[in-house]
Amino acid sequence: MRLAPVPAGTRPMADRVREGLFSSLGDRVVDASVLDLFAGTGAVGIEALSRGARRAVFVDSAPGAVKAIHENLRRSKFQATAAVRRLDTLAAVRQNQGQFGLVFVDPPYRLPVALLEALLRELAGQGAVASGGAVVLSRETKSDMPVIPVNWRLERRLSYGDAIILVLQVQ
């Protein structure tokens, strides 16, 4: 399916990165509740829905991104299993969007590591990720790595060009 044009200022996850990531996640996606933070075009959450996720919540603060997500959900016919929130990601987590089996965190590479660490602490503190669930964090190879909450374990590290994907299991 062809997605809507990428809004200005959005860096979508490359197709090959997304394909590799979902191949590595396998059946973990099936029937999962998904939270897609810094959702951009919604491609990651839509990929999860297309692979059997039960529902997805998309969060992005940019108006152009939210518009693109709505259009891509319409094109993919996943509107009934999705919710879109135009919010700052930290505010969205604090609003308790529910509990999720998979949380995708694909922030802008320029996001300060301190803000990313605050978001990860909030995800851990709010119980937004179900026990046994996973947080999938993407970073640029040159960027600083955030401190990971103590009850999260690195399950897998994937590298694709300038992108690093960390799959973290919540204990």
Q: Does residue 82 fall inside a structural domain?
A: yes
Q: What is residue 8's predicted lDDT score, i.e. its pLDDT?
A: 65
Q: For residue 132, what are its two tokens? A: 């046994």
CATH number at residue 86: 3.40.50.150
| Residue 61 CB contacts under 8 Å (≥ 6 apart), including other chains | 86, 87, 88, 89
Residue that is written with structure tokens 């990313």 in the block: 116
- Domain count along the chain: 1
Q: In this predicted model, what pLDDT tens digit does every residue of 55-87 receive, in sequence order?
A: 999 999 999 999 999 999 999 999 999 999 999
Question: Residue 144 above 70 pLDDT?
Answer: yes
Q: Does residue 52 fall inside a structural domain?
A: yes
Q: Does residue 105 fall inside a structural domain?
A: yes
Q: In this predicted model, what pLDDT tens digit does every residue of 87-133 receive, in sequence order?
A: 999 999 999 889 999 999 999 888 999 999 999 999 999 889 999 99
Find the domain containing 93 and state its range.
16-170
Q: For residue 56, what are its two tokens? A: 């997805």
Put simply, whether the predicted model's pTM sits higher than 0.95 gets the answer: no
Q: Does residue 153 fall inside a structural domain?
A: yes
Q: Does residue 98 fall inside a structural domain?
A: yes
